[in-house]
Amino acid sequence: MSRRYEDLPGPAVTAQVTSSSIMLLPIGATEQHGPHLPMSVDTVIAHETASAVVDACGERLDIWQLPTMSVSKSNEHCWAPGTLSYSPETMASALDDIGRSVASTNAERLVLLNGHGGNTTMLGTILRELRIRFGLKTFLMHPSLPPAYGGTSTSDELGMGIHGGLNETSVFMHLRPGQTRLELAERRVPEALADNAHVRFGGSVSFGWLSNDFNEDGYIGDPTAANAELGMKLFEHSVAELVDAMSEVKAFNFGH
């Protein structure tokens, strides 16, 4: 049986989506990733990760995969022609509408699987808003936690390969062979931040930034050594971690 929500006939929703169901919403983006990657990167990674998780444990944990959002809040890339972005207000409104729609079913749990780091702070706020407005148990996951928010990046990238760098490029090469132009990639690491203990990506002090603040190409990291074999390992590890996390989401309650 398909676990893709849109494959359900409308009359079947009431019977097949139950109070124990988990609704999984992949959130991607359509935004510039430098000259070596297409604008679809975040959407592809979010969608394929969600699909792999659902294929691995969807039946066992009663997960329904919602249609992937391919536009989100990408305003840090709006200097680049072609980037599509919701305003923060539109993004919040769209997720409010999705939350309302999910709450009209029997489902009580909604997981946001975020493939775009620029959404992270806002989605943390939206979790609580959806909880307040609709009573849903809400969760935020990432295929990999963005380095700007405490996730890991390679030491060669000084821990700051946050956009179009080694790992992201490698995963995309695994998922979409032939769509990466690695010959156009160069090292684009913000070396000037490396000695900062606090004001840096992943540091204790956050700062506002646009992706072209560091270089005109708009990617941040060093994708020059990216390869599909590394991407496969990263992808498979991510899926395994998320499957494990989904088991906890399934059992989660507030301790009473």
Checking if the pLDDT of 256 tops 90, the result is: no
What distance in Å separates the CA atoms of residue 164 and residue 155, rounded to the nearest whole number?
A: 16
What distance in Å separates the CA atoms of residue 163 and residue 211, rounded to the nearest whole number?
A: 8
Q: How confident is the model at residue 154 (pLDDT cuts 50, 70, 90)?
A: confident
Checking if the pLDDT of 113 tops 80, the result is: yes
- Would you kindly state where each structural domain of the chain is located, as residue ranges? 5-251
CA atoms within 13 A on the CB side of 229: 1
Cα separation values, 171 from 150, 180, 226, Å: 19, 11, 9
What is the signed CA dihedral for 179, 230, 46, 145, rounded to 10 degrees? -140
Among the listed residues 73, 68, 70, 63, the one whose alpha carbon sits nearest the alpha carbon of residue 125: 73
Long-range pairs, 11-15, Cβ under 8 A, ≥24: 13/105, 14/105, 14/106
Query: Which burial class, exposed, middle or buried, applies to 204 when counting CB atoms under 10 A from its CB (0-12, 13-18, 19+)?
Result: exposed
Structure confidence by residue, pLDDT tens digits, 24-80: 999 999 999 999 999 999 999 999 999 999 999 999 999 999 999 999 999 999 999
Structure confidence by residue, pLDDT tens digits, 197-219: 999 988 899 899 999 999 999 99
Mean pLDDT (the chain) is: 95
Q: What is residue 159's predicted lDDT score, i.e. its pLDDT?
A: 84
SS3 196: coil
CATH number for the segment(s) 5-251: 3.40.50.10310
User: What is the reported pTM?
Assistant: 0.96
Structure confidence by residue, pLDDT tens digits, 10-24: 999 999 999 999 999
Q: Where are the beta strands (DSSP E) in 71-169?
A: 109-114, 137-141
Q: Residue length, the chain? A: 256
Structure confidence by residue, pLDDT tens digits, 159-197: 888 899 999 999 999 999 999 999 999 999 999 898 999
Among the listed residues 183, 142, 166, the one whose alpha carbon sits nearest the alpha carbon of residue 233: 166
